[in-house]
């Protein structure tokens, strides 16, 4: 085995801490949105972890964060919806580290991560929550109109918070993944 136990234990512990912090922060609503949902910084620890440890680790920890959300009271209509709305959607946060070079790479990565999570929630909404669309409105458009603002705001706020934390944390505990 080419990797030492420390090389996997440290990211696993960091990942567990980030999952716990993400769940705690997701319970602190900065404000409620008019169409439902709320703005919180729950994605910030997951983005920070992905930037520090890379896309593979970031996707894995994101998926585990989604499973934790299910275990702590996720809204489940059927198993496919649960997998799409939680583990797959939150695994998309790992895409924030797809381009690990500089600020531009991180911005592109966050945009891809947001688009992935939006895609998961829009598909789930259109397929499993179509009955909530107003009469005569396409469920896909309704799901898009509902999910895009909420998830975009969460990613914007969480990215700013994660960026500030990243800059400070890299001075104290460098990840070895470079500065941006």
Q: Count of domains in the chain? A: 1
Q: How many CA atoms lie within 13 A of 14 on its CB side?
A: 23
Give residue-wise pLDDT tens across range 27-56.
999 988 777 778 999 999 999 999 999 999
Residue 31 inside a domain? The answer is: no
CB 153 within 8 A of CB 38: no
CATH at residue 56: 1.10.1760.20
Residue 5 pLDDT greater than 80, yes or no: no
Least Cα distance to 147 among 63, 35, 69 occurs for 35
Task: Output the pTM of the full model.
Answer: 0.90
Residue 14 inside a domain? The answer is: no
CA distance 159 to 39: 13
| pLDDT for residue 175 | 72
What band does 176 get if pLDDT is binned at 50, 70 and 90?
low
Residue 122 inside a domain? The answer is: yes
Q: How far is CA 172 from CA 31, 53, 58, 152, 179, in A?
A: 32, 16, 21, 30, 13
Give residue-wise pLDDT tens across range 89-131.
999 999 999 998 888 999 999 999 999 999 999 999 999 988 8
CA distance 113 to 38: 19
CA distance 109 to 92: 10
Domain residue limits at 48: 40-172
Question: What mean pLDDT is reported for the chain?
Answer: 91
Residue 177 inside a domain? The answer is: no
| pLDDT for residue 35 | 72
Residue 18 inside a domain? The answer is: no
Residue 145 inside a domain? The answer is: yes
CB 50 within 8 A of CB 97: yes
Query: CB count, 10 Å around CB of 138?
Result: 12
């Amino acid at each position: 085995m080419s990797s030492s136990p420390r090389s996997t234990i440290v990211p696993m512990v960091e990942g567990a801490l980030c999952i716990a912090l993400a769940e705690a922060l997701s319970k602190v609503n900065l404000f409620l949105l008019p169409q439902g949902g709320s703005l919180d910084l729950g994605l910030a620890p997951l983005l920070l972890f992905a930037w520090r440890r890379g896309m593979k680790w970031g996707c894995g920890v994101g998926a585990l964060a989604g499973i934790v959300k299910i275990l702590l009271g996720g809204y489940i209509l059927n198993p496919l919806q649960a997998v799409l709305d939680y583990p797959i959607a939150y695994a998309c946060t790992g895409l924030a580290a797809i381009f690990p070079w500089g600020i531009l790479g991180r911005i592109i990565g966050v945009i891809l991560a947001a688009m992935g999570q939006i895609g998961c929630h829009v598909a789930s909404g259109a397929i499993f929550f179509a009955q909530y669309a107003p009469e005569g409105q396409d469920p896909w458009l309704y799901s898009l109109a509902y999910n895009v603002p909420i998830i975009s705001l969460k990613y914007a706020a969480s990215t700013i918070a994660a960026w500030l934390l990243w800059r400070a944390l890299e001075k104290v505990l460098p990840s070895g993944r470079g500065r941006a």
